[in-house]
Amino acid sequence: MFRLITGLALAVVFLACLIASAPARLLNGFLPADRIILQGFSGTLWNGSASRALVGAGSGYIHLGAVSWSLNPLSLLTLSPGLRVESSWGKQQLSTDIRFTGSDSIELANLDALVSAQLLKQFLPLAVGGDFSVQLGDLVVQGGLPIRGEGRIVWHQATWESAQGVLPLGSYAVDFQQLPGQALSGEIVTIAGAVTAQGNVSLEGKHYSVDLLVTSEPGLDGQLQQALSLIAQPVSEGYRIAFDGQLLEIE
């Protein structure tokens, strides 16, 4: 019996050493190839990097730039790879713990990111500028939709790009939370700036709603008023943006 236990222990150690020295490119075998693209590998499976990374979002991809990771070896035993990931692309930065719990389920934790508002133009026809910072305690996404989580998104030094030039707006935050089995709900608040925005957003399944009041004590800029008139209703305080709808199918 002692020899059997010793033999099994040596086999496990040998296998662990073999896997620990496995090249980083093997990580592709554990990731959904249609949603995550990694190129230019270096390092090992446990601690490696890629010179180029893209993550699927809707019908397009988000460029992460260079990415490095540290893989939790024990997570492979449950077939749920868990990694610490960091990426950089210019001033765009991202760090998070990520776990793949199924073919269509991902868990994020301790996420801290900074991205340009220009990224929105890839998905929405919005003439905006500034930067977004994102902090997540945790977020569980299943089938492309959030089912649990909490965090904060801040729009820093927001601007509106009109035909006459760039109009500064302010800085705004959305604090959101989603409990299991409930809708995601968020509160929009103004941190600083001449243009004030306050309201609520929600997402339940694929159904979303937005109710937002936009005001300014010195009065809204004429170009901004013209832009808001296309999507908002004039009220005594300023403009109210209220709409709901269904998210597009994620391909």
Task: Please give the tally of structural domains in the chain.
Answer: 2
Consecutive H or E run containing 170: strand 165-178
pLDDT at site 188 = 96
Give yes or no: residues 79 and 122 share one domain.
no
Is 99 part of any domain?
no
pLDDT tens digits for range 133-182: 999 999 999 888 899 999 999 999 998 887 777 888 899 999 999 999 89
| 57 domain residue, yes or no | yes
- pLDDT at position 237 is 85
Q: Which residues contact 215 (CB under 8 A, 6 or more apart)?
A: 195, 196, 237, 238, 239
Residues 124 and 240 in one domain: yes
- Same domain assignment for residues 124 and 248: yes
Same domain, 162 and 231: yes
Query: Domain check: are 39 and 108 in the same one?
Result: no
Q: Is residue 178 part of a domain?
A: yes
* Confidence at residue 74, expressed as pLDDT on a 0 to 100 scale: 73
* Of 60, 87, 114, the domain-final residue: 87
Q: What is the pLDDT of residue 151?
A: 96
Asked if residue 46 belongs to a domain, the reply is yes
Average of pLDDT values for 57-65?
77
Q: Of the residues 87, 115, 143, which one is the last residue of a structural domain?
A: 87
Judged on CB neighbours under 10 Å (0-12, 13-18, 19+), 129 is buried
Return the structure tokens found at 116: 């340009």
Residue ending a domain, choose from 54, 87, 120: 87
The answer to whether residue 94 is domain-embedded is no
pTM for the full predicted model: 0.81
Residue 140 phi, psi (nearest 5)? -110, 125
pLDDT score, position 3: 42
Domain encompassing residue 76: 1-87
Specify whether 109 is located in the same domain as 76.
no
Indicate the residue type of 79.
Answer: L
| Judgement on whether residues 61 and 142 belong to the same structural domain of the protein | no
For residue 93, is it within any domain? Answer: no
Q: Looking at per-residue confidence, does 224 or 112 come out higher?
A: 112
pLDDT digits (tens, 9 = 90+) for 191-250: 998 899 999 999 998 899 999 999 987 777 777 787 777 778 889 888 999 988 887 654
* 3 state DSSP class of 4: helix
